[in-house]
């Protein structure tokens, strides 16, 4: 797999004349998305060129270069295609197309090109990439790179060599893997493959109002804050992740432990400790947004997706929350369903409920 197989660039077609724009409206040409908007004088509504509403008469149609100019002319946005939203309009058929493209990427030995993916699902490359990124929060190329890194990380512990894992995962240039891997797995590939052999991880366990909390740190900062009912099970879980690391309880971590316990009791005070955050670029965008949610407040998964500029990537946001390994420091417990109800939580739904109740009492 080479990084040049899938590109992040796509050139929109030209829709500069009214005749070309009218043809695009009649054919609901997806390539016209983002190039212009049209309004219907008899309804007072403006739409995207791909809107599925009933086709208007040509004499009742006006064209605009932006939603702002359409609204300045007195037209209101269509409730169906939501032309004022910055991201593309995503219908059920688009979701199916994206799922089909994701399956193709997952099942291919090398990353399909953007043109190949778009042709497979029957879209222009420009429109397909916009729809894909709006839904998942990443481009097709970034999605393929993430899958490739995950495959390599999964293969490393059992592979005959680091080189074998790299090439089996789809890389044909080891340099690309080494440049990508440290942000994802938090250590060198050789160290990770060896069960974190040579990596030093200090840990401490303490009681708190949520049961027990395990705090683990690498030389770079906190790499885990785990909550549970059994301190021995928490430690065993950390050791199973890194079976060959030098993991030991360390009295010198006591000061950090105390800060974490105090932080759990009073999260509004903040946690001023370095974090060793490991994740994909998209996960880190989500986690950064979570850390901006004030204690005592909540956001829905949809609202988090909107904050990171990917309003259709709701499922991907939920997956990033589930992948968080730093309880409360990255406050995924402050993300709830659209109706305000609590959803799943890595450390148990009841702990999520208690965390939120405590924060709201402060």
Q: Return the structure tokens found at 271.
A: 């946690």
Cβ atoms of residues 159 and 149 within 8 Å: no
Matching residue, tokens 């222009």: 124
Cβ neighbors of 95 (< 8 A, separation 6 or more) are: 135
**Beta strands 299-300 and 335-336: pairing type?**
parallel
User: Is residue 332 among the annotated active site residues?
Assistant: yes
Distance CA 35, CA 17 (A): 11
Cβ atoms of residues 216 and 238 within 8 Å: yes
DSSP 254-288: HHHHHHHHHHHH-GGG---S-B-----HHHHHHHH
Cβ neighbors of 161 (< 8 A, separation 6 or more) are: none
User: Is residue 47 among the annotated active site residues?
Assistant: yes
Which of 328, 330, 1, 304 shows the shortest CA–CA distance to 151?
1
Indicate which residue of 51, 81, 102, 332 is catalytic: 332
Indicate which residue of 47, 78, 81, 102 is catalytic: 47
Q: Which helix (H) or strand (E) holds 204?
A: strand 200-208
Q: Which helix (H) or strand (E) holds 227?
A: strand 221-228
Which of 131, 136, 123, 126 shows the shortest CA–CA distance to 28?
123
Query: Which residues does the annotation mark as catalytic?
Result: 47, 332
């Amino acid at each position: 797999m080479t990084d040049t197989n899938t590109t992040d660039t796509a050139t929109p077609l030209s829709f500069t004349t009214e005749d070309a724009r009218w043809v695009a409206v009649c054919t609901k040409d997806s390539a016209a998305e983002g190039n212009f908007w049209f309004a219907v004088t008899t309804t007072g509504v403006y739409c995207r060129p791909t809107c599925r509403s009933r086709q208007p008469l040509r004499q009742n149609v006006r064209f605009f270069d932006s939603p702002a100019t359409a609204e300045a002319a007195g037209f209101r946005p269509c409730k169906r295609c939501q032309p004022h939203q910055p991201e593309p309009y995503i219908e059920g058929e688009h979701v199916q197309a994206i799922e089909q493209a994701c399956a193709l990427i997952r099942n291919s030995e090398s990353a399909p090109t953007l043109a190949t993916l778009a042709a497979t699902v029957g879209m222009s490359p420009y429109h397909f990439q916009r729809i894909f990124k709006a839904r998942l929060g990443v481009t097709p190329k970034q999605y393929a790179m993430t899958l490739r890194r995950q495959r390599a990380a999964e293969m490393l512990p059992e592979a005959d060599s680091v080189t074998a894992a790299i090439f089996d995962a789809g890389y044909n240039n080891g340099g690309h893997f080494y440049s990508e891997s440290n942000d994802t797995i938090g250590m060198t590939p050789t160290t990770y493959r060896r069960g974190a052999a040579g990596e030093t991880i200090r840990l401490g366990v303490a009681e708190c109002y949520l049961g027990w909390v395990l705090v683990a740190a690498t030389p770079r900062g906190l790499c885990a804050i785990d909550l549970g009912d059994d301190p021995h099970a928490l430690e065993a879980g950390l050791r199973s992740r890194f079976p060959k690391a030098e993991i030991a309880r360390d009295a010198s971590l006591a000061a950090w432990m105390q800060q974490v316990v105090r932080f759990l009791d009073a999260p509004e005070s903040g946690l001023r400790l370095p974090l060793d955050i490991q994740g994909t670029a998209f996960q880190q965008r989500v986690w950064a947004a979570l850390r901006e949610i004030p204690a005592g407040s909540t956001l829905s998964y949809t609202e988090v997706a909107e904050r990171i500029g990917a309003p259709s990537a709701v499922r991907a946001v939920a997956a990033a929350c589930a992948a968080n390994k730093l309880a409360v420091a990255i406050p995924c417990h402050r993300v709830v369903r659209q109706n305000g109800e609590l959803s799943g939580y890595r450390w148990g739904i009841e702990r999520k409920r208690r965390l939120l109740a405590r924060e709201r009492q402060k």
